Every structure is written in C-alpha cells, then in structure tokens.
A and B are shown apart, each in its own frame.
Chain A
Amino acid sequence: MNNIIPNDNCPFFNEKMETMTRAEIEALQLERLQATVRHCMNSPFYKKRFQEAGITPEDIKSLDDIRRIPFTTKQDLRDTYPFGMASVPLRECTRLHSSSGTTGTPTVILHTRKDLEEWAAQVARNLWMVGLRPDDVFQNSSGYGMFTGGLGFQYGAERLGMLTVPAAAGNSLRQIKFITDFGTTALHAVPSYVTRLYEVMRSIDVDPRRDTKLKVLAIGAEPHSEEQRRRIEEMMGVKAYNSFGMSEMCGPGVGFECQEQNGLHFWEDYYIVEIVNPETLEPVPDGEIGELVLTTLCREAMPLLRYRTRDLTRVLGRSCPCGRNHVRIDRMRGRSDDMMVLRGVNIFPIQIEKILMNFSELASNYLITLTTDKENDNMLVEVELEELFTDDFHRLQDLTKRIQRALKDEILLTPVVKLLPKGTLPVSDGKAVRVVDKRTVYQ
C-alpha cells in the first residue's frame, strides 16, 4: 500500500488514477471487474447466484457483460446476515460496520485491513480534491461507531495528514469551542446540523467569518438542494461540497464534488456506476434519472456486484474542467423505495406504522409529510382517531405526546403528531399514499 502524500501544489491526491482517460478507466474497470467476479466465487452467496444464473466468471469478457450478472439487494444482505456474503475468511477481516436494523434484520459490512486502507485513500482523495492539505485542521461532527461517517472521515483525514478533531456528534457549544480554539479549517457535518451550528454561533456572538478559520465543509448523508448548499456557504463563509457514501460500498468516499461543484465524481477505479430504470432494470441514457447501481472493484472482504442503492440520480457527464474524467453524478433526487432520509437518519414508513398500530386509540390510516422549514427537515405524522375515547383535551394531548415519544424512540427524531377525525385522510384506490415529500430538495 502506497502511503505517499503528494506535494501541496499538486491538485491530485492520486494523479495516475484521477487523471485517467475514459479508455484507461474502462480498461482498468474490466480488469478489476474480472478479478472481483473471480474473487466473489469464494462467497457462498455469489457462487450460488452465479450457478443459478447459469454464468461463470469467464463469461465476463467486456464491461457490457456486467449486465449478465444478477443484481444484489439490501434484502440479500439481510438474508445472509451476518457473514454469509463474505469472500474471505473472518480471520482476514479487521472491522465490521452494521446498520441499526430498525426495519428488520440489520446488515453487516466486513472490511479487511486493505479495504480500510483503500477506503481511507478514497476519502483522502476527496478532501485533497477540494483543496485540503496537511496544514488543515479537520473536524468531524459525525457519530463515531457503527455509523461509517465517523471512522470513515477520520481515517481519510488522517491518511491525508491533517490534524484531526474527532469531535463526534452533538454538543454544539463544544463543537464551536473546538472550531475556534483549534483553528478548524474543514468540517464534516450533515447539512441540517450546519444550520443548527450557525444558530448557536449567532446566539453566543460567534461570527463564522470573523471568528473561525473555516473554509471547507463536507456535507452529505441527507438530501439537500443546491439552494440549501448556497445558503450554507453564505452563512458560514465557506465552500460546501456534497459527499456521497453508503455503508454497503464502504461509507463516505464513494463520490464527492470537485471544486467545480457540478456533480459528484464517482471513483471509477473503485466502482462501476450504472443508472437503471427501477422498473425495467434496463440502463437509462446519460442525463436521464434512474436508480444508481454500484459494483465494487477493489473490495476484498465483501465485494458487492450490481448493488441496487435505491437512490435516484443521473449521469451529468464524463469529463470535467478539473481534469478528472470519472463520471459526474447529480445530487440524489429521491428514492426508488419508500425510504426517507431525514437529518441523516434513514426511516421507512413501516417503522412509523408499527408504532402507530400499537395505539388502540388510533385508526389504521396515517400520512407522513416531510417539509423543509428554514434549513431543517421536519416530519408531520397525521393519524386518524379510531374512537373518541374522551372529550377531555388533556387526555387527547397526552395521547399525542405518548405517540410522539414512542416514535422518537423508534426513529430518533421527534415528529409533529396531529390527530385527525376518522375518514379525514385521503383514501386511494390502490396503494395508500403514506409519504408526501414537500422538501425543497425534491421540488
């Protein structure tokens, strides 16, 4: 593993990989895809998948042949929980990350030592791309632990050679003290938290332009619009770059905006990027919105072939004034399943439903509405009352509060809960509409 750090004035962290021509990228991808597919035969899961599909690693002769490989889904990860998809023995693995499993069986992603090094190298490449150098001070406000945004950015920032401040999530006053005392120049945060930090800064008379050295923000893990980004930049006096990651691929690092801020470069030496129609699963032309499908090209412990991310986006281009020809992907436009991402938390309507159904006072019809208030995403849960069990306002309001608390325990956010008379919510003929997303990011 090469741990070299380039000269500060070099715009690339890994010049060779970042500046490849399209032909070079595709040649490398084919070579790595073939190696990955062969390696996957060590995984009982993929071995069986290939047998069932009637294909062998030798059938992959061109990049187009990837379409012969069946898709991998989140359900596959659940079905093989915890270690059924590993392509190496566990003794070669040095870490695992796991989802919370609030919607059912959790998912586990295994890493070898080399996987972790490659992951750190991707994050370092991203941070270098937006101008960060070993002189910078990098503060990470992600939760550490199982959430990959913590350790992922930590190792990447260390790999680049910055002084790192692993502040972790929460405690805004302490975050601000670190920023001012340690001269933090770069901060990783979810967009809604940046707004929160700004409000707290103002309340204690800290002006981010005057009193901090902040110049770069890495923002990700929740959908946000271009307008939100511009507001964040204006507020904090920084450049804010969109980051894309998912624990299934490794975590943060998969895609990141360059200084052009015109789409996220997805690193094609690490991943094959496909955009498919979520209904037909056929590829869509560049520029058209479809579901993002990713294949890992460098992972040892748990390579994933044609993983359906459920994120909707599109290809913006395959060249860039920054000198990188790695595909540029638009910010995420929504989901092809019903998952909601709110303030960095992944939530499925079924989680809400499960809680509501525990209250015998409630009918089965409910509606979740997501809105953007200033910079914050908010959730409104409207639910119908089954029986009017009291005409006492206090008891009705107590019920509202109990529902709110139970929801918070499940989804870690406090929604606004509104009781409605029975028959108030619209009933559709087919599948009930459970989620209305009015957030500006999806407008």
Chain B
Amino acid sequence: MTTIKQLSIFIENKSGTLIKVLNLLSDAKIQIIASTIADTQDYGIYRVLCSAPREAFTILKENGINVQLTDVLAIAIEDEPGKAATAINALSDAGVNILYMYSFLWQGKGVLVMRTDKSDEAMQVIARKSIILLDEDNFKN
C-alpha cells in the first residue's frame, strides 16, 4: 500500500511561466501522465503526475522552480457510470475528506488522483473495499 509522488509546482499567473516548466521536463525526457492547474488571481499550482517524479523534482529545483513532492493517492476504477460515486462514498463514510482531485483515463480504466486529509484511513478503506490502488511503477516509462 503506498502513495504516489506528485509534483506540485508554484507558478506565477502570467503568460510564459508554464512553458519553462514543460520545457525542463521535456528536455529530461520525462513523460507527463496527467496534470491540472489550479489558480488564484496571483499564482497557480500546477500538479503533475509523471514518469519519474523524483528526477523531475531535482531538475526543477536545480532550475530555481518552487516545487514540492506531494503524496497523493491514485485509484483505478471501471470506466462505467457510478463507479466514482461508489469509491468516493466509501471514503466519505470513513470520514476522509478530499482536498483536491483530478481524473484521467489510463489503460481503459478511470484513474482518480486525490489528496486527502487522512491518508492512512483512506488507504484502509481502499484495502477493505478492494479498490485498486496504483503505485509509481504503473506509470514508469
């Protein structure tokens, strides 16, 4: 049972700031699996699941980017109506709150990536309900 390392990148809410990050990842041949940007008026946080999070972290940091490795959970569900509701319901019943979440399709399954306020409880629920938890090896190149 494990969490996945996600890159959380602090970027200015201004044109041209995202491309610098993307170019650095591209030059290092790091593949982006999924990503999302949340923004305020002043700044944004770019959250990235990638093929080599630790390597990416080092590269970005060396280039002066404000970046953090954040532990997130990635669960795989059937690509069918109602499956997300079932999974989230289980977490909700256990009193786990989701701080943020994004989703993508991967190998025919739906993947929900989330940061919760109670990681340990969340993982217990996932194990109990036999939900598929993905680890970093799933996303390696």
* A interface residues, tally (CB under 8 Å): 17
Q: With a CB–CB cut-off of 8 A, which chain B residues contact A388?
A: 8-10, 66-68
Produce 1/0 per residue, A402-443, CB < 8 A to B.
000000000000000011111110000000000000000000
Q: With a CB–CB cut-off of 8 A, which chain A residues contact B40?
A: 393, 397
Give Cα A286 to B19, complex, Å. Answer: 54
B84 at the interface (CB under 8 A from A): no
Produce 1/0 per residue, B54-90, CB < 8 A to A.
0000000000111110100000000000000000000
- Contact, CB under 8 Å: B64 / A385: no
- Contact, CB under 8 Å: B45 / A391: yes
User: Max chain B CB contacts within 10 Å: which of A390, A391, A420?
Assistant: A391
Q: With a CB–CB cut-off of 8 A, which chain A residues contact B10?
A: 385, 388, 419, 421
Shortest CB-to-CB span from B98 to chain A, Å, is 12
Shortest CB-to-CB span from A88 to chain B, Å, is 55
Give Cα A387 to B9, complex, Å. Answer: 10
- Contact, CB under 8 Å: A421 / B12: yes
Shortest CB-to-CB span from B76 to chain A, Å, is 23
Q: Given A421-B17, A421-B65, do A391 and B47 touch, yes or no (CB 8 Å)?
A: yes
Interface residues of chain A: helix, strand, loop or mixed (majority)? loop
* B interface residues, tally (CB under 8 Å): 20
Shortest CB-to-CB span from B15 to chain A, Å, is 13
Give Cα A117 to B65, complex, Å. Answer: 62
Q: Given A385-B10, A391-B8, A391-B47, do A422 and B68 touch, yes or no (CB 8 Å)?
A: no
Shortest CB-to-CB span from A97 to chain B, Å, is 41
- Contact, CB under 8 Å: A393 / B64: no
- Contact, CB under 8 Å: B68 / A424: no
B50 at the interface (CB under 8 A from A): no
Shortest CB-to-CB span from B57 to chain A, Å, is 11
Produce 1/0 per residue, B30-44, CB < 8 A to A.
000000001010110
A392 at the interface (CB under 8 A from B): yes
B11 at the interface (CB under 8 A from A): yes
- Contact, CB under 8 Å: A389 / B68: yes
- Contact, CB under 8 Å: B66 / A418: no
- Contact, CB under 8 Å: B45 / A424: no
Q: Closest chain A residue to B11 by CB distance?
A: A421
Shortest CB-to-CB span from B116 to chain A, Å, is 12
User: Max chain B CB contacts within 10 Å: which of A392, A419, A421, A423?
Assistant: A421
Q: With a CB–CB cut-off of 8 A, which chain B residues contact A423?
A: 64-65
Shortest CB-to-CB span from B10 to chain A, Å, is 5
Give Cα A422 to B64, complex, Å. Answer: 6
Give Cα A390 to B67, complex, Å. Answer: 9
Q: With a CB–CB cut-off of 8 A, which chain A residues contact B1?
A: none
Q: With a CB–CB cut-off of 8 A, which chain A residues contact B115?
A: 391
- Contact, CB under 8 Å: B12 / A393: no
- Contact, CB under 8 Å: A392 / B68: no
Produce 1/0 per residue, B1-20, CB < 8 A to A.
00000001111100001000
Q: With a CB–CB cut-off of 8 A, which chain A residues contact B43?
A: 396, 418-421
Q: With a CB–CB cut-off of 8 A, which chain A residues contact B17?
A: 421
- Contact, CB under 8 Å: A424 / B99: no
Q: With a CB–CB cut-off of 8 A, which chain B residues contact A396?
A: 43
CB < 8 Å neighbour of A391 from B42, B65, B68 = B68
Q: Closest chain A residue to B45 by CB distance?
A: A391
- Contact, CB under 8 Å: B68 / A393: no
- Contact, CB under 8 Å: A419 / B42: yes
Q: Closest chain B residue to A363 by CB distance?
A: B66
Q: With a CB–CB cut-off of 8 A, which chain B residues contact A393?
A: 38, 40, 45
- Contact, CB under 8 Å: B64 / A391: no
Q: With a CB–CB cut-off of 8 A, which chain B residues contact A392?
A: 99
- Contact, CB under 8 Å: A391 / B70: yes
Give Cα A391 to B39, complex, Å. Answer: 11
Q: With a CB–CB cut-off of 8 A, which chain A residues contact B12?
A: 420-421, 424
Q: Closest chain A residue to B65 by CB distance?
A: A421
Give Cα A168 to B95, complex, Å. Answer: 55
Give Cα A393 to B40, complex, Å. Answer: 9
Give Cα A389 to B17, complex, Å. Answer: 20
Q: With a CB–CB cut-off of 8 A, which chain B residues contact A397?
A: 40
- Contact, CB under 8 Å: B66 / A385: yes
Q: With a CB–CB cut-off of 8 A, which chain A residues contact B70?
A: 391
Shortest CB-to-CB span from A333 to chain B, Å, is 32
Q: With a CB–CB cut-off of 8 A, which chain B residues contact A422?
A: 64-66
Give Cα A392 to B40, complex, Å. Answer: 12
Shortest CB-to-CB span from B70 to chain A, Å, is 5
Give Cα A418 to B70, complex, Å. Answer: 23
Q: With a CB–CB cut-off of 8 A, which chain A residues contact B67?
A: 388
Shortest CB-to-CB span from B40 to chain A, Å, is 7
List 12 additional contacts besides A391-B45, A391-B115, A393-B40; criterion CB under 8 Å. Answer: A387-B66, A388-B9, A388-B68, A390-B68, A391-B8, A391-B68, A391-B70, A418-B43, A420-B12, A421-B10, A421-B12, A422-B64
State the A residues within 8 Å of B (CB): 385, 387-393, 396-397, 418-424
Q: Return the 7 tightest CB-CB contacts between A and B, nearest first.
A: A391-B8, A388-B68, A388-B66, A423-B64, A388-B10, A421-B66, A418-B42
Q: List 27 A-B contacts (CB under 8 A).
A: A385-B10, A385-B66, A387-B66, A387-B68, A388-B10, A388-B67, A388-B68, A391-B8, A391-B45, A391-B47, A391-B70, A391-B115, A393-B40, A393-B45, A396-B43, A397-B40, A419-B10, A419-B43, A420-B43, A421-B10, A421-B11, A421-B65, A421-B66, A422-B65, A423-B64, A423-B65, A424-B12
